[in-house]
Structure 1
Amino acid sequence: MTTHAPNSTGSSPLDVTTSDVTVGDWTIRTHQAGDPADPAILWLHGSGPGVSALSNWQELLTTMPGYHHVAPDVLGFGDSSHPVDLPLGVADSAALRARATLGLLDALGIASAHVVGNSMGGMIALLLVQQQPDRVDRLILMGSAGAPIEPTADLIKMITYYDDPSAESMLDLMERFLHDPGLYGDHIDQIAAQRADYAAREDIRRSHLRTFSPDGPLLVFPVDGLAAIQHEVLVVHGREDRIIRKESSFYLAEHLPNAQLHVLPHAGHWVQIEQVDRFRALATQFLQEPQTYLSHPTRDHEEHTA
């Protein structure tokens, strides 16, 4: 399936091709755009009832030429496989999702990629860097979780959505994600109703409840683990984010040795939607900057000791 969307850059939009990629016993719904010969960007969405890759990333996939864009529905989300034995809790389910994501790169023949992670996708991105640092070029974290801070009331509202699932509850949740719900105009009710219908699927409900089960561990990145990551990192957060506190990005930027931090005003948890032009400009500049720091400490160590 091929789709394209209007974009705000004035250039012709890139086509998005959708396919199901086999990764072991699973299939991963994968959206791709751009030339596979170009540098790859892996886009990892966050969590939430009814979330999917295109709902997070379509505007960016179609408006950043010069890259091979790969945006999967992460394992246990959207139209990818939903394992009935998905591990309980954020930490263990994220570990499995990171393994599936590395398997997706293998299946697509992608040796390394820039990685963009939003919210839970940011945690998965950090796991990728820790597990196989040579597979990640530069890293962009947007509204990422993983800091040792208390969850917000709005995050708890998202986690407990299935206590009272409905179009009204979904509308309320979407308004918590956005700084300015008026961005969607009169269509926000319709969007919420469609997303509520999607979230009502039993496999999506099951994966959500297993991911946020209190019977499994949380995922917090300790200082020493972050300090060992030598990749160049762009950390972005919406100033008015009600889902993940901006202090989470402060923590990550403080302890990732080669990180830069940008806090964007008038933006909630969906910076890629509310501040798409500014985020695209930041990401493009960051990915095109000359290398300043050591991106692959293991490789560098081997070169100096050979």
Structure 2
Amino acid sequence: MGDRLFDQGAQVRRVLAAGHETAYHEAGHGRPIVLLHGSGPGVSAWSNWSGVLPALAAEHRVLAPDIAGFGRTSFQEGTEYGIKLWTRQLFEFLDALDIPSALLVGNSFGGGLALAATLRDPSRVDGLVLLGTPAGTFTMTEGLRAGWHYEPDPDEMRRILRLFPYDKGLVTEEMVRARYEASAAPGAQAAFRKLIPEPGPGDTPVRGVPEDRLRTIGKPSLIVHGREDEVIPVELGWRLARSIPDSELHVFGQCGHWVQLERPAAFTGLVRDFAGRQT
């Protein structure tokens, strides 16, 4: 991967967590916020969060790790990837940095990981910000289906990335090149294919955290969704809001799956306000 994915002033470090040399970005000081990236071909913490990390770091210590199997935290042959490993990695990541608890901000898969961590040990979580996060059972979308079948190819990468935002102009050739290069790394697709079932010829069900489990979450939660999200439909944002007792929902019109990239200023404003109310 080119270093263009890891610049713009954020510090890049590594720490051992769940047997993986976990790459992460860190900036700022104050109460910790951990940014958990989504899934998809060529994804990394930096590709998801570079546009909002500096603004959030103005008031907080912000950390954005590459989850095991993604970005620069390499896939390891023979490792059983799944939510148990990723949750353990998150907790060991916090332990390694001497962080008792943090606000978790999760995009898509990262939101699912944040929910799983909260259910496993709520004492480690100050609150939740969930962007385009799956909940309950839903029918696999074209964005997820295409990502599962993806094999490294620049044209196919371009086609898949254009499924994510409402404004297709957000997908630049630089983004396509960077994500394609990352997707060609050994094992880059293997972790993603652990997340969702293999697509069938017809409708394929995908399962997020069940609604009865969501109702047990006692942490304040900010739910953010794009109205035109074609990867994780906006109905799932409403499902989260109805299920999590202490939650609020913000829906952005003319916005797809990448709220943090499509509405960066409004998104960071919401997160900073929400974080300030958790003191």
- Judge conservation of contact 1:86–1:210 (CA < 8 Å) in 2: no
2:56 matches 1:56 = no
| Structure 2: runs of 5 or more not aligned | 200-204
Q: Are 1:33 and 2:27 counterparts?
A: yes
Q: Distance in 2 between matches of 1:230 and 1:104?
A: 23
Q: Within 2, Cα distance between the matches of 1:209 and 1:242?
A: 19
- Structure 1 residue 200, shift from structure 2 partner: 1.0
Task: Assess, with a 3 A threshold, how the Cα gap between structure 1 residues 79 and 230 changes in structure 2: closer, same or farther.
Answer: same
Shift of 1:106: 0.4
Percentage identity across paired residues of the two chains: 33
Q: Secondary structure at the match of 2:189?
A: helix
Code of the aligned partner of 1:282: L
* Per-residue Cα deviation, 1:36-90 (whole angstroms, up to 9, x for no partner): xx100010000011100011111211112110001000111011131323436xx
Alignment-mate amino acid for residue 72 of structure 1 = P
Number of residues of Structure 1 aligned to a counterpart in Structure 2? 269
Find the partner of 2:191 among 187, 207, 220: 207
Question: Residue 148 of structure 2 contacts residue 198 of structure 2 at CA under 8 Å; is this kept in 1?
Answer: no
Secondary structure class of the residue paired with 1:76? coil
Q: Over residues 21-50 of structure 1, what are the superposed CA-to-partner deviations in whole Å (9 max), with x where a residue is unaligned?
A: 112421100110012xx1000100000111
Q: 1:227, 1:235 → 2: CA distance?
A: 14
Distance 2:118 2:155 in 1: 39
State the TM-score, normalized to the length of structure 1. 0.83
Q: Please show how residues 80-91 of structure 1 align to structure 2 within 5 Å.
A: 80-87=73-80
Secondary structure, aligned partner of 1:203? coil
**1:125-204 alignment runs, 5 A limit:** 125-162=114-151, 165-184=152-171, 188-204=172-188
Q: 1:225 to 1:211 in 2, by over 3 A?
A: closer
Shift of 1:201: 1.3
Q: What letter matches 2:20 in structure 1? A: W
Cα distance between partner residues in 1 of 2:138 and 2:195: 19
User: Is contact 1:86-1:207 (8 Å) kept?
Assistant: no
Counterpart position of 1:282: 270
Cα distance between partner residues in 1 of 2:98 and 2:208: 31
* Residues 87, 211 of structure 1: 8 Å contact kept: no
* RMSD of aligned Cα (Å): 2.0
Is 1:73 matched with 2:53? no
CA distance change for structure 1 residues 4 and 24 in 2, over 3 Å: closer, same or farther?
closer
Distance (Å, rounded) in 2 between the aligned partners of 1:154 and 1:132: 31
Cα distance 1:138–1:4, how it changes in 2: closer, same or farther (>3 A)? same
The one of 268, 275, 278 equivalent to 2:256 is: 268
Task: Name 1:19's counterpart in structure 2.
Answer: 13
> Which has the higher Rg, Structure 1 or Structure 2?
1
Q: Deviations over 1:208-243 (max 9, x none)?
A: 33444549x964322221111111000000011111
2:93 & 2:269 partners in 1: Cα distance?
Answer: 28
Q: How does 1:248-259 map to 2 (within 5 A)?
A: 248-259=236-247
Q: Distance in 2 between matches of 1:145 and 1:74?
A: 18
- Return the TM-score normalized by structure 2: 0.90
